[in-house]
């Protein structure tokens, strides 16, 4: 771990209420423009000609532009997919959404399509460079699709999302299996009397459940078995080792093993405070360590596993706590706190340049503001609340100040 260092000027500036207000205001205004374009994309894709005509007559200059296509959420708004959204107003961007079983035929007739829907997006850290899958918590009828992401032998972002420097740097890794093997959950299953996440593996080691696919999907059921659990008190977390295997496969086929990492001290509509904040910092580092630990995987003769595959992360909606966790991970990785050297280059390469243009000049060098704006370009509403934005600053400052 790097020693404590002098805080960067942009992080020192974050102690100023005026600077924080500027950051929150700028990020909010930009997200409002994205929301307008998302709404326009729903109207544009509506089957009613009258509806489309009304949209065309009343839309602003922004929503008439290419912004509508860039920020389109039309796939998640289709009638056959709406039931897969935990919250009616949160759909994934079309251009970064995660498609499962891309060759699988779904539906019939006019609704026939390839691939399964999941309310999830590919998200890449701006500062740290790592890829994540940011998703909502499973629903009873989406748990099978959720687990199917892990069953895929290779789960990587599509090439059109890769920056040229990224896609050309290690072409040999394209042949390496890159299966998701770590799932992070940042919400309790129940909070304030409401179910925030559907439970998709048994509570006791040795128990097995069978998860069935959504109607219209021909994929086989999945047998889910809890192998073991481990409590990490200093990180306020529970690590569960889970195996999954399709029902009906040959008896000699090995199940897929993944680690489920639950952080239990992040309140809904709030942020961790005091010792819980320190626990979150430790949890962030622990997740990175677990994802890189190949000893947790069954032996694979002659198979070269990805040393650090994408991590799947969810809270309830998959935007607030999820976005803040990815932002913190990115900045910690950038400064060398997650098992690697600090980045020497200060040049960032966003997945796609924002059609909204750069951030205002007074906050343009603020890496937290850049990170959050970049995340919001990839999944709507990421790092949803002002206190979550402040939390990112605080965790990064704590790490740089040597807080353990």
d(C-alpha 375, C-alpha 140), whole Å: 27
CA angle 144, 148, 153 (to 5 degrees): 165
Number of structural domains found in the chain: 1
Q: What is the pLDDT averaged over residues 87-91?
A: 96
In the DSSP assignment, the letter for residue 110 is G
* Residue-averaged pLDDT of the chain: 88
Q: 4 in a domain, yes or no? A: no
In this structure, is residue 193 part of a structural domain? Answer: yes
Question: How does pLDDT run across 302-347, given as a tens digit for each residue?
Answer: 478 889 999 999 999 999 999 999 999 999 999 999 976 666 555 6
Of the segments 10-24, 147-161, 295-309, which one has the largest average pLDDT value?
10-24
Pair 130, 332: CB distance under 8 Å:
no
Q: Given its phi and psi angles, is residue 214 left (phi above 0), alpha (psi -120 to 50 degrees) or beta? A: beta
Q: Give the pLDDT band of residue 54 (cuts 50, 70, 90).
A: very low
State how far the Cα of 15 lies from the Cα of 10, in Å rounded to an integer.
Answer: 9
Q: Is residue 218 part of a domain?
A: yes
Residue 379 has pLDDT above 80, yes or no: yes
Helix (H, G, I), strand (E, B) or coil at 341: coil
What does the pLDDT look like over 239-248, one tens digit per residue? Answer: 999 999 999 9
Q: What is the pLDDT, as a whole number, of residue 67?
A: 87
Range of the domain at 199: 9-298+305-400
Between strands 113-116 and 100-106, the pairing is: antiparallel
- Tell me whether residue 359 is in a domain: yes
**Residue 45 pLDDT exceeds 90:** no
Pairing of strands 237-246, 256-263: antiparallel
> 2 lies in a domain?
no
Instruction: Give the tens place of pLDDT for each residue, 243-274.
Output: 999 999 998 899 999 999 999 999 988 899 99
CB 101 within 8 A of CB 281: no
Distance of alpha carbon 251 from the chain centroid: 34
In a domain, 151, yes or no: yes
Q: Which two tokens stand for residue 8?
A: 């960067």
Strands (DSSP E) found in 233-339: 237-246, 256-263, 311-314
Model confidence at 356, pLDDT cuts 50, 70, 90, reads very high
Give 46 or 266, the one with higher predicted confidence: 266
Three-state SS sequence of 142-204:
CHHHHHHHHHCCECCCCHHHCCHHHHHHCHHHHHCCECCCEEEECCCCEECCEECCCCCCCCC
Question: Which structure tokens are listed for 188?
Answer: 């309790």
Residue 213, SS3? coil
Mean pLDDT, to the nearest integer, of 91-116?
A: 76
| In the predicted structure, residue 184 carries a pLDDT above the cut 60 | yes
Partners of 121 in the beta sheet?
97, 134
How many Cβ atoms are within 10 Å of 398's Cβ, its own excluded? 16
Average pLDDT over residues 279-298: 94
Q: Is 34 inside a domain boundary? A: yes
Tell me the CA end-to-end span of the chain in Å, nearest whole number: 10
* Residue 114: φ, ψ to 5°: -100, 140
How many residues in total does the chain contain?
Answer: 404
Which residues touch 4 (CB under 8 Å, ≥6 apart)?
Answer: 400, 401, 402
Q: What is the CATH number of the domain that holds 70?
A: 3.90.190.10
Residue 3 located in a structural domain: no
pLDDT value, residue 84: 97
**For residue 289, is pLDDT > 60?**
yes
Q: Please indicate whether residue 348 or residue 238 has the higher confidence score (pLDDT).
A: 238
pLDDT for the residue numbered 107:
54
Given a cut of 80, whether residue 12 has pLDDT beyond it is yes
User: According to the model, what pLDDT value does residue 162 have?
Assistant: 79
Using one digit for the tens of pLDDT, what is the confidence trace for 196-237? 999 999 999 999 999 999 998 999 999 999 999 999 999 999
pLDDT above 70 for 57: no
Tell me: pLDDT of 31 over 70: yes
The burial of 46, by beta-carbon neighbours within 10 Å (0-12 exposed, 13-18 middle, 19 or more buried), is given as: middle
Share of the chain above pLDDT 90, in %: 71
């Amino acid at each position: 771990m790097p020693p404590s260092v002098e805080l960067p000027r942009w992080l020192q500036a974050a102690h100023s209420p005026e600077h924080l207000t500027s950051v929150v205001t700028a990020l909010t205004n930009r997200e409002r423009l994205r929301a307008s374009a998302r709404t326009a994309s729903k109207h544009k894709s509506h089957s009613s000609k009258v509806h489309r005509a009304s949209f065309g007559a009343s839309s602003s200059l922004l929503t008439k532009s290419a912004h509508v296509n860039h920020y389109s959420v039309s796939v998640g708004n289709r009638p056959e997919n709406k039931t897969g959204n935990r919250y009616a107003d949160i759909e994934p961007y079309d251009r970064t959404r995660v498609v499962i079983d891309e060759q699988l035929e779904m539906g019939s007739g006019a609704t026939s399509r390839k691939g399964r829907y999941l309310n999830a997006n590919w998200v890449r850290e701006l500062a740290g460079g790592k890829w994540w899958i940011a998703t909502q918590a499973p629903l009873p009828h989406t748990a099978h699709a959720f687990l199917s992401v892990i069953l895929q032998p290779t789960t990587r972002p599509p090439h059109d999302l890769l920056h040229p420097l990224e896609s050309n740097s290690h072409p040999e890794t394209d042949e390496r299996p890159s299966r998701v093997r770590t799932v992070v959950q940042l919400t309790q299953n129940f909070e304030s009397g409401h179910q925030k996440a559907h439970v998709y593996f048994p509570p006791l080691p040795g128990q097995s459940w069978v998860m069935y696919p959504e109607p219209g999907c021909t994929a086989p059921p999945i047998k889910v078995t809890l192998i073991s659990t481990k409590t990490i008190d200093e990180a306020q977390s529970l690590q569960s080792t889970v195996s999954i295997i399709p029902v009906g496969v040959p008896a000699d086929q090995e199940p897929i093993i993944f680690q489920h990492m639950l952080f239990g001290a992040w309140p809904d509509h709030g942020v961790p405070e005091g010792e819980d904040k320190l626990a979150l910092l430790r949890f962030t580092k622990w997740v990175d360590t677990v994802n890189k630990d190949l000893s947790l995987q069954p032996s694979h003769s002659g198979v070269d596993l990805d040393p650090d595959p994408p991590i799947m992360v969810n809270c309830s909606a998959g935007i607030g706590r999820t976005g803040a966790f990815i932002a913190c991970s990115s900045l910690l990785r950038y400064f060398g706190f997650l098992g690697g050297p600090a980045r020497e280059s200060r040049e960032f390469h966003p997945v796609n340049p924002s059609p909204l243009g750069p951030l205002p000049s007074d906050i343009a060098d603020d890496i937290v503001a850049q990170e959050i704006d970049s995340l919001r370009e990839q999944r709507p509403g990421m790092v949803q609340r002002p206190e979550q934005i402040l939390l990112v600053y605080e965790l990064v400052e704590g790490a740089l100040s040597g807080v353990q």
